Amino acid sequence: MASKLAGSVVITGIAEASSDSQDSLETLVFRGARAALDEAGLDRSDLDGVVLAASDQTDGRAITSMLTSGPAGAYLNDEINVASSPGHALALGFMQILSGTHQRLLVSSWGKSSETVGSVQAAERLSADPFFERDGGLSAAAAAAFQAQQRRLNATDGDLAAARVAARNHGDVDEQAVLASAVVASPLRKLEVPPEIDGTFSILLERAGRDTPAVTLAGVGWCSDSGRIAERDLSALPHLQRAAEDAYQRAGIQSPTDEIGSWHLHDYTPDAEILAYGPLGLCAAAAANDLALSGATAFGGLLPVNPDGGSVRGEAPFGGPMAKVLAAVRQIRGTAANQVSDLDRALAHLTTGFAGQFQTVAIVERQQ
C-alpha cells in the first residue's frame, strides 16, 4: 500500500495544553483544539470530523467524550471516540483520511489526573480480569514492575542501564540520583516512573494538497498482545514488532536506523524503552541493554531517543502518550528544544494497557 499512502496524510497543526493549569477539562480540550486549528490557519467549520481518545474511569465520569467532543470541535460534526488508546485514535484518524470519508479532522487526547476520582491506579486496577487477576491487586504500576524485573533479571547491569535511560529522559538528573531515589514498586524507583500530570494533546490531520506547511504522517501501525499478563513474556514485545513492521511498510521504510533520525519512545519505565529497541529495529533485542549503556541513544548520539526528554518528566494518564507524536512532529519541523540535525523522519511510539499490551508506532516525515 505504500504507493497509495505516500504523502497522503499530513499534520498541519499540533497543540499541547498542560499541566499546572487550573482550567477545567473541557477548557483544556478547547484550548488545545483551538491552538491546533490556529496553527493550521483553520476554523472549526473547516473540520469534517473529530477523533477522541477518552477513558471514562480515568476521567471519573461515564461517556466522558460527551463533555469533550464539543470543545474539540464536534458540534454538529462527525465524532468518534477510540477508548482503547490515544495511539488507536491517531490510527483511526489516519484511516479516515485514507478512506476518503474525511478531508480534515482533529485527533484529541487528554488526561487530567487531578480530576480522577480516587486515583488513576485505583481505576487501573478495575481493568484486570475480574475472575483471576483483579483480586491479586494487579495494576498498571504492578505490571510495569513485573516487566522491569523480568528485563533486569536477564541483563548484566540492568539496573544501571535503566538508571542511565531514566537520567537521560529527565535531562536534569544523573543516574546516581535515579539509583538513590526511593523504590516505588520493586525494582522501579521514583525517578524511573512518570509522575501524573494534567495535559491535552491535539493533532490536526489533513488530506495532502492544501498549500500550507505540513509534516507527513507517513505510516501508523498498531498491534495487541494478550490481556492475560501471566501468559506473556513481558520482556519480549512481538506485537510491537508487528506494529513497527506495519508502520515501516506503510511509510516505505526499508532500513529503520538509516532512515529514522529521531526516536520518541514511550518510557513509562526505562525498561519499557529499552525493551522497545529490539522490536523497533534499533538493535538486536539481545543488544538492547548494551545500547542503553553505550550512550548512542543520547542527544547527539547515532540513534537519538527522546532528545527532548521523556514521559518520566511527567505524563498525563491515558491520553499522555500522544505527546510522543507531538515531539516527533517538532523534530521534523525543526522547532524542538534539542533539535536533531539532518532529519527527515521521526518515529513516535505509544503504549497503553498493562505492560504495554497495546502498541502503536507512527512515522512522521518531512513533506516531499
Among 43, 66, 114, 334, binds other proteins (CB under 8 A): 66
Q: Which three cell numbers stand for residue 302?
A: 547515532
Which positions from 250 to 269 touch other proteins by CB under 8 A, shown as an x/- string? x-------------------
Candidate segments 82-90, 150-158, 261-269, 327-335, binder of other proteins by CB under 8 A? 82-90
Q: Is 45 in the site for other proteins (CB under 8 A)?
A: no
Element (H, E) at 91: helix 86-98
Tell me how far, at minimum, the Cβ of 208 lies from other proteins, in Å.
Answer: 6
Pairing state of beta strands 104-112 and 262-264? unpaired
Candidate segments 184-192, 288-296, 327-335, 353-361, binder of other proteins by CB under 8 A? 353-361
Among 65, 108, 202, 331, binds other proteins (CB under 8 A): 65
- The upper half-sphere exposure of residue 225, i.e. CA atoms within 13 Å in the direction of its Cβ, equals 24
Among 22, 76, 255, 335, binds other proteins (CB under 8 A): 76
Tell me how far, at minimum, the Cβ of 61 lies from other proteins, in Å.
Answer: 6
Among 14, 36, 128, 166, binds other proteins (CB under 8 A): 128
Given the C-alpha cell 548520539, which residue does it identify?
A: 301
Q: Is 302 in the site for other proteins (CB under 8 A)?
A: no
Among 46, 98, 290, 333, binds other proteins (CB under 8 A): 98
Q: Do 55 and 318 touch, CB atoms closer than 8 A? A: yes
Scanning residues 14 to 33, which ones bind other proteins (CB under 8 A)?
none
Q: Do 240 and 285 touch, CB atoms closer than 8 A? A: no
Q: Do 200 and 59 touch, CB atoms closer than 8 A? A: no
Contacts of residue 99, defined as CB under 8 A and 6 or more positions apart, other chains included, come to none
Distance CA 186, CA 242 (A): 30
Q: Do 276 and 266 touch, CB atoms closer than 8 A? A: yes
Tell me how far, at minimum, the Cβ of 27 lies from other proteins, in Å.
Answer: 13
Q: Which is nearer to other proteins, 131 or 255 (CB)?
A: 131
Tell me the site size for other proteins, rule CB under 8 A.
71
Question: Would you tell me how many other CB atoms lie within 10 Å of the CB of residue 30?
Answer: 21
Q: Is residue 176 packed enough to be buried (19+ CB in 10 Å), middle (13-18) or exposed (0-12)?
A: exposed
Among 159, 225, 267, 273, binds other proteins (CB under 8 A): 225
Q: Is 56 in the site for other proteins (CB under 8 A)?
A: yes
Given the C-alpha cell 471514562, which residue does it identify?
A: 56
Q: Is 59 in the site for other proteins (CB under 8 A)?
A: no
Q: Which is nearer to other proteins, 143 or 166 (CB)?
A: 143
Q: Which is nearer to other proteins, 83 or 296 (CB)?
A: 83
Question: Would you tell me how many other CB atoms lie within 10 Å of the CB of residue 337?
Answer: 11
Among 18, 96, 147, 351, binds other proteins (CB under 8 A): 96
Q: Which is nearer to other proteins, 98 or 173 (CB)?
A: 98
Q: What angle do CA 235, 288, 338 make, to 5 degrees?
A: 115
